[in-house]
Copies of this chain bind each other. A is one copy, B any other.
Amino acid sequence: MTMRVGVVGGGQLARMMIAPAVELGLEIRVLAEQEGMSASLAATQVGDYLDLETVRAFARDVDVLTFDHEHVPQPVLRALVEEGVAVHPGPDALQFAQDKLVMRARLAELGMPQPDWAAVASADELQAFLDDHGGRAVVKTPRGGYDGKGVRVVSAATEAEDWFTALAEDARGGALLAEELVDFTRELAQQVARRPSGQIVAYPVVETVQRDGVCAEVVAPAPRATGRLAAEAERIGLTIAEGLGVTGMLAVELFETADERVLVNELAMRPHNSGHWTQDGAVTGQFEQHLRAVLDLPLGDARPREAWSVMINVLGGPADGSLEDRFAAVMADHPRAKIHTYGKAPRPGRKVGHVTVVGDDLDDVAYEARAAAAHFAD
């Protein structure tokens, strides 16, 4: 029987599951937030993922429910699981991606290396954390942040005053997350896939370059990653996937510090921007791997196809037209560049596509990927 995967959310991550689903011969259905989204080709329903009835109706005819994002509320997820729906990743795992305070506490239990952190329920508590950490810290809203949203570097508790005010008005209450401002030398990311029945595979650790809080570039594998560093990143990824019971793809964003430590920054329990290189650069792309994992099918080979892959995000896009208007120029100059666009209108800072180049020589590959992506810039 054809296996049916239901994806909640119609963004580019759902869109990029379409290609491997079609090739494998899986049926993919998408519950989109609105018409005309990135994954509209597979959208079978438009509706509100906050609403149990809507998600329940969508889940009725699929073999597994998975996600384009981590925003489906716990009560919705738990109700579905109780009713027998296969939900992957499940609510027990997803809570750690939905609430950064819960995540920090659990990672501490697992002994994972992470920045100093504290739950701060008031300006006074944040000030105390600042006083203990050289007067600067990162403050994060535990829920709802992404791509740099809900994250602030502060040097005085007053700079988070609005967030404390919002917290006081939020029925869920709680605290903000304060973190040590890590003096990192670069950022890394570790991708891991895990099946409900336990099989787990790790991709090579990659280097990510963020700009304005948004992933801009990924180099895979991470250059100058010593065996020790790569092994440590893999150990962290595998430990978290198992410790948190993640199913599907897990991305662990990491800081590498000047004193050669690796600290966990953020988690994502889905295909992630730092893994887009795998579509063209690995034997099994992360979107295929995610589909296999959530269906509890044996996982694919996670090894790179060639020595180096460089992925460059297209952010914003040309204000004077569409990405397609630049295809002729990009393709003419860069015949080996793999172009991916998301069917989204250009808007400053918005992720509208990415370009990956794969090859033997890192300098060539990086130069070509950047040059190709630059054609799409405004």
Give the interface of A toward B (CB within 8 A).
Answer: 1-3, 15-16, 18-20, 22-26, 41-42, 279, 283-284, 292, 297-301, 303, 305-306, 322-325, 327-328, 331-332, 335-336, 338-343, 353, 358
Q: State how many copies of this chain the complex holds.
A: 2
State in angstroms the CA–CA spacing of A42 and B2 once bound together: 17
Q: List 19 A-B contacts (CB under 8 A).
A: A1-B322, A1-B325, A2-B324, A18-B18, A19-B19, A19-B23, A23-B339, A24-B339, A25-B339, A25-B353, A283-B336, A283-B338, A284-B335, A292-B331, A297-B327, A297-B328, A297-B331, A298-B328, A301-B336
Partner of A24, one of B284, B305, B335, B340: B340
A299 touches B335 (CB 8 A): yes
In the complex, what distance in Å separates the CA atom of A325 from the CA atom of B1? 7
Give which listed residue, B20, B279, B301, contacts A335 with CB less than 8 A: B301
Instruction: Give chain B residues whose Cβ lies under 8 Å from the Cβ of A3.
Output: 324, 327
Chain B residues within an 8 Å CB radius of A25: 323-324, 339-343, 353
Residue of B nearest to A352 (CB): B25
B residues near A292, Cβ cutoff 8 Å? 331
Query: Do residues A2 and B336 form an inter-chain contact, with CB atoms below 8 A?
Result: no
Q: In the bound complex, what is the Cα–Cα distance between A282 and B24 (angstroms)? A: 18
- 4 nearest interchain CB pairs? A25-B341, A19-B19, A298-B331, A298-B332
Most buried by B among A22, A41, A322: A22
Min distance, Cβ A306 to any Cβ of chain B, angstroms: 7
Q: For A41, give its contact among B15, B22, B279, B332 (CB under 8 Å).
A: B22
CB distance from A300 to the nearest CB of B (A): 5
- Out of B23, B325, B328, name the residue touching A340 (CB < 8 Å): B23
Cβ distance A126 to chain B, nearest Cβ, rounded Å: 44
Distance A13 CA – B165 CA, assembled complex (angstroms): 58
